[in-house]
Every structure is written in structure tokens, then in C-alpha cells.
Amino acid sequence: MAKERRALIMLFGGTGDLATRKLYPALFNLYEKGNIRDHFAVLGTSRAELSDDEFKAMVTKSVAKESNDKKMIQDFVSHFAYVAHDVTDVKHYSVLREKADELDKKYEINGNRVFYISMAPNFFGTVAQNLKTQHLLTDNGEFNRLVIEKPFGRDYKSAKQLNDELSAAFDENQIFRIDHYLGKEMIQNIEAIRFGNTIFEALWNNRYIDNIQITLAEDLGVEERAGYYDNSGALRDMVQNHIMQIVSLLAMEQPVAFKDVDIRSEKVKALRSLRVYDVIEASSNFVRGQYGESPDGKTKPYREEDDVPADSNTETFVAGKLLFDNYRWSGTPFYIRTGKKLAGKFTRVDVVFKKPLVDIFAFPQSGSTPLNDNVLTIFVEPNQGFSLRVNAKNNEQGFHTEPVDLSYMEDQKDVPQPYERLIHDVLKGDGTNFSSWPEVASAWKFVDQIRQVWDIQQPNFPNYIPGTMGPVAADELLARDNRQWVYRINQ
Ligand code: NDP
Ligand code: BG6
């Protein structure tokens, strides 16, 4: 039986895209399971002048596909209220406070508050500070928690400034920085695979692992978000947050216990031992790309997308080689890549183990092909599971080895979506799957070095064809090290 959590959730940006597409469905799923039920309320805000009923109708619409049980939806939505509010209007916070107090009393919430800022990032600091100065934080409940959407800054300096603003109002353990990749089933499974299995953890180091590859591929382009994306680019949009978080989970030492403080402490240590590149290393170890037109003319080049300047040098693809200067990983590169308009929508991690030092099957008359790499592949999306490639004898006459995949795929029915998991964690006060400030800071310091080099060097864009796996230089990055991507098209 699910444990019911008591909380008033104050949602800034309550009419926005994220709220209606992801947050309300996630909350409904928590309601359906009983994680929230009688003692919760959602107070939505934005500038739009909506009545409670209009807001409730909007929420009803956004959760309609989650259930056929109309009564359940109606009961859920009855816990919602709305106040039109401009977050820059300091005086008006008293109206929010009164409404929050009223809902708190009505649903016997006992002062537990979650402030979720699902708005453009330039408002994050303002809202946090106004919440504090205008006394919306309670002192009679178990918690006041702040949830912050991405992006968290656009470089170390701006991230630090934002963090200082948040820290003036909330303690680090009250701040939950969302990285929705940390809510994904198979990303959370990395810890189980590593620390629950001697056969992996004992080999999880530079003696046995040749390299690790992380691919976050998207077949879509920038869609409606060009205005944001063109100012960001793939390095900031995907590498600084999602990829660095995955890297830290793969690279960290075993935490003392499976607790947020212990896990965060190991992730930070891992990120701090990542080699921060100088100009020469950044130029040679990172590759950027921007898609052009498809050969059939059906996909237009990035530079012709709506709201993208015709001379944009924003990268829609990044590949890179990351090196750790620590005992576990020295000499074992982590290769990463991500991009828009690639060959498909998928996320995977390929852990490539070293071959046996001696291939005893490779005597000339054996006819055996050389041994394959053992590869542990973690399939994050669209399928969720993992497979382990091993060499085995085939069942023909003679003795020939061939690769065999031992694979496990999860039944995806009823797997909670990332926002459902993450909001549940916020209600529980579990920060495991959120980015802590030291992690964010280390990730920016690494990424800033690449960005600085790219900002002064002119790229030769466009340089890849939609529907491929990015520019040729991304393959050359590995070929230079006598390696190749485990996932290739036309293999
Ligand atoms: P939207 O632009 O769709 O929504 C913004 C919301 O903020 C609206 O409700 C808007 O309502 C409100 N708002 C804007 N200005 C003010 C103001 N001055 N005072 C009060 N409310 C205001 O943004 P998204 O929902 O797409 O994004 C929200 C956050 O989530 C951003 O940080 C984004 O980066 C992040 N995010 C979004 C994703 C997505 O898929 N949408 C994915 C990952 C992260 P109104 O104009 O009526 O005031
Ligand atoms: C977001 C990025 O954080 O992640 C988007 O801003 C990207 O550009 C998205 O499309 C990908 O997330 P997912 O869960 O679809 O892989």
C-alpha cells in the first residue's frame, strides 16, 4: 500500500507546456496510486486571468488520457486551485500566501510545502527570494522544498549566481534540481547493475573496461523550441546536465550506503576527477555538428528552421572523449554523443570490456573469427533493459566462436514516468535523483572549457546529414584510438 504524502504544491508556470504535458499527468498517477490522496492541494499560478473552474478544466484535459475513471479524475482535480499572479509583483505574494494557508487548512496539510518553478529560468531566483521574503515558507510543517527546472545557468558563472540567489532563501537540502534523465528507469538501474553484481563491479575499472560509450540520439529536430535551443546548443542542452549525470553514475565509487548524501558525495568526487581540458585537448577531444538538408530535400537544414538565424553556428550535435585522472579510470576513455535529427530516438550506454590478453582460438587453421568485445549495453530508451555480449562456441562441426547476446528486457507496462518518480522523491525528501550544486558546478567547469574554445573557432557547418549518426569526425574521434562506436548504422 502506497504511503500517502501530505503537501501543498505551489506550481509557478501552472498553465505552461511542461505543467500540462508532464506534471499534471505525473501528479494524477501519484494520486491514482495513493501517494497523494486526501491531504494534498495544488495551487497553480501564472499571469493568465483564469477562474478556478477554467484551471480545473485545463488540468482535467491534461490528465484525461491517464484513466477512464472519470470520478477519480474529478476527485483529483477538486484539489486544484488557481491564482493569477505575476511573479515579479512582490506585493501580490500575500494573495498566494492567503490562498495557500486556506488550502492547507482545508486539506489538513500541516504546513508541508513544495514550490515548483516551471517557468523560464530567469525567474528562478526571483521566485525563490520572494517566497522567502514574503513569508510563504512555513515553520509549522515537516518541510519547505523548492523544485527547479532546467536549465540551471548557461555557464559556471551564471549557474553560481543563480545558486547564490536560491541559497539566500533555501538550504541545499531543500533544493531539488530536476534532471529528468535521473528519473528514467534504466538510468536508476545503473546503480543496481553496478553495485548489486560482483561480476560487474569487480571488473568496473581500467584493468577490464576498454571504454564506455554513451549515446543520447534524437530523430526530432528543435520543433517549437528553436528560440531557446539556438541560444543553448547541444553542449549546454544535453551534455552539461543529462550526459554528465550519466557519466558520474557510471564512474563513481561505491557509495557508503544507498542514500542521497552518500551517492551525491561519490558523484561529485567522480566529476571532480574528470580532466578539465585545455584549449588543445578541447579542440581535439570534442566534435560538434549541425545538420544540413536531407538528400531527398524532405528535411530542411537547421539554419532554415523557424526562429533559427540563417547564419547560426549553434551545434545540434556533440561527440566527445572524456578522461578521468583517477586510479579507477585512468586510461579508459568515456565517449559521449548526442544530437538532433539523428538516425533514431534512443539512449544507450555501451560498456566495452577488454579482450582476453591471449586469444587461444586464433590459431591460423582454426577458421575462428577473432574474439568479439564483451559489451554490456544498457538500453535506456525506447526499450528498457540490458544485454551482455559474450563469446561462445557455435553449434557447428569444428570449433568456431561467435558472439551471443544474453539479454533482459523489462516489461514497460506501468513503469512510472520520470516526472512521476521525481515528484514522488520530492514528496519523500529523497534527493538521490536530483543534481546537487557541487555536481552542477563541476559539470559546468568542464563544459565551459569546450564552449570557450568553440566560441572562438569558426565551425564548418552544416556538416552532417539528417538520419545519420552525425558528422564523420565523430567516427574519426574513436578511429584515432583504434576504436569504433558499438552502435553504428548499416552495421
Ligand atoms: P512555457 O513557456 O510553456 O510556460 C511558462 C509558464 O510561465 C506559463 O504558465 C506562463 O504563463 C508563466 N509565466 C511567464 N511569465 C510569468 C510571470 N511573469 N509571472 C507568472 N507566470 C509567468 O514553458 P515550459 O512549460 O515549456 O517550461 C517551463 C520550464 O520547464 C522551463 O524552465 C523549461 O526550460 C523547463 N523544461 C520544459 C520542458 C518542456 O518539455 N516544456 C522540458 C524540460 C524542461 P503566463 O504567460 O500566462 O504568465
Ligand atoms: C531536454 C532537452 O532536456 O531533453 C531537449 O532540452 C531534449 O532538447 C530532451 O529533446 C530529451 O529528453 P528525452 O527524455 O525525450 O530523451
Q: How many CB atoms lie within 10 A of CB 229?
A: 23
418 C-alpha to center of ligand 1: Å? 19
pLDDT in the model for residue 399: 81
Residues marked active site are found at: 242
Q: Which CATH number fits domain 182-479: 3.30.360.10, 3.40.50.300, 3.20.20.70, 3.30.930.10?
A: 3.30.360.10
User: Cα of 84 to ligand 1 centre, how many Å?
Assistant: 14
**Alpha-carbon torsion (337, 341, 343, 344), positive or negative:** positive
- CA-347 nearest atom, ligand 2: 16
Query: Residue 35 is placed in which grid cell?
Result: 501517494
Q: How many angstroms does the Cα of residue 413 sit away from the middle of ligand 1?
A: 30
CA of 150, closest atom in ligand 2 = 3
- DSSP secondary structure letters along 391-404: EEE-SSSS--EEEE
From 11, 17, 122, mutation site for ligand 1 pocket: most ligand atoms within 8 A of C-beta: 17
For the Cβ of 47 lying below 6 angstroms from any atom of ligand 1, the answer is yes
Model pTM score: 0.96
Instruction: Decide whether any atom of ligand 1 lies within 6 Å of the 470 Cβ.
Output: no
Exposed, middle or buried by CB within 10 Å (0-12, 13-18, 19+), for 5? buried
Closest-approaching ligand to the CA atom of 236 = 2
Residue with cell 538532433: 340
CA of 63 to the centre of ligand 2 (A): 21
Provide the phi-psi class of 449: left if phi over 0, else alpha when psi is between -120 and 50, else beta: alpha
Does the beta carbon of 225 lie inside 6 Å of ligand 1? no
- The segment(s) of the chain belonging to CATH 3.40.50.720 are 7-149
Question: Which atom of ligand 2 is closest in space to residue 216's alpha carbon?
Answer: 16
Closest-approaching ligand to the CA atom of 154: 1
Question: pLDDT tens digits, the chain, 491 residues: what are they?
Answer: 789 999 999 999 999 999 999 999 999 999 999 999 999 999 999 999 999 999 999 999 999 999 999 999 999 999 999 999 999 999 999 999 999 999 999 999 999 999 999 999 999 999 999 999 999 999 999 999 999 999 999 999 999 999 999 999 999 999 999 999 999 999 999 999 999 999 999 999 999 999 999 999 999 999 888 999 999 999 999 999 999 999 999 999 999 999 999 999 999 999 999 999 999 999 999 999 999 999 999 999 999 999 999 999 999 999 999 999 999 999 999 999 999 999 999 999 999 999 998 888 876 555 667 899 999 999 999 999 999 999 999 888 878 888 999 999 988 877 899 999 999 999 999 999 999 999 999 999 999 999 999 999 999 999 999 999 999 999 999 999 999 999 998 65
Distance from Cα 19 to the centre of ligand 1, integer Å: 8
Indicate whether residue 126 lines ligand 1 (CB < 6 A).
Answer: no
Ligand 2 atom closest to residue 228's alpha carbon, by position in its atom list: 6
Residues of the chain with CATH 3.30.360.10: 182-479
CATH number of 7-149: 3.40.50.720
322 in helix, strand or coil? strand
Task: Determine the Cα–Cα distance for residues 429 and 248; give it in Å rounded to an integer.
Answer: 22
88 lines ligand 1 (CB under 6 A): yes
Grid coordinates representing 465 are 546529414
Probe residue for ligand 2, chosen from 22, 177, 178, 180 as the CB with the greatest number of ligand atoms within 8 Å: 180
Q: CB count, 10 Å around CB of 175?
A: 21
Q: Is the CB of 87 under 6 A from ligand 1?
A: yes
CA 14 – ligand 1 centroid, Å = 8
In this prediction, residue 401 carries a pLDDT of: 87
CA distance 240 to 454: 15
Please tell me the predicted confidence (pLDDT) of residue 57.
98
Q: Pairing state of beta strands 375-381 and 385-393?
A: antiparallel
Helix (H, G, I), strand (E, B) or coil at 476: helix
Within 6 A (CB) of ligand 2 lie 150, 180, 218, 237
Ligand 1 atom closest to 19 (CA)? 25
Ligand 1 pocket residue status of 224, Cβ below 6 Å: no
Secondary structure E strands in 374-487: 375-381, 385-393, 401-409
- The best mutation among 11, 118, 158, 423 to test binding of ligand 1, ranked by most ligand atoms within 8 Å of the C-beta, falls on 118
Q: How far is the CA of 123 from the centre of ligand 1 (A)?
A: 10
Ligand nearest to the CA of 216: 2
18 lines ligand 1 (CB under 6 A): yes
